Amino acid sequence: MMSALFTREEMAMSSLTGKATNAFKNHEAKPQLDVKKVSAICSYINKEHGGLEAKEVLSIMRSKLNNEAKLYFKKKPHNDIQTFIQMP
């Protein structure tokens, strides 16, 4: 479902919160995904698959973002994220 609303690059270069992670506090945070789209995904999943809590859905989405980032950076030079973040 995320692939229908976000491009692979968008998923690789973004996070759910837009905040820096504890593991990489010295790095700039990735931009936040569109909150309305994330909320829509959570609502849809909850309606279709009742019983899943929002935090479970967000955890799955976070895994998807991490996997997309790994795939993206295998194909691209490692400095792409810094270039993307510094763009106005």
pLDDT for the residue numbered 77: 60
- Which position has the higher pLDDT, 80 or 65? 65
pLDDT for the residue numbered 79: 53
Q: How far is CA 73 from CA 43, 67, 85, in A?
A: 30, 10, 15
Percent of the chain with pLDDT over 90: 50
Q: Is 7 helix (H, G, I), strand (E, B) or coil?
A: coil
Span 27-42, pLDDT tens digits: 788 999 999 999 999 9
pLDDT for the residue numbered 8: 92
Query: What is the total count of domains within the chain?
Result: 1
**Distance between CA 20 and CA 45 in Å, rounded?**
27
59 falls within a domain: yes
Q: What is the CA radius of gyration of the chain?
A: 14
Show the domain range for 81: 2-19+32-86
**Distance between CA 26 and CA 34 in Å, rounded?**
24
25 falls within a domain: no
pLDDT at 57 > cutoff 70: yes
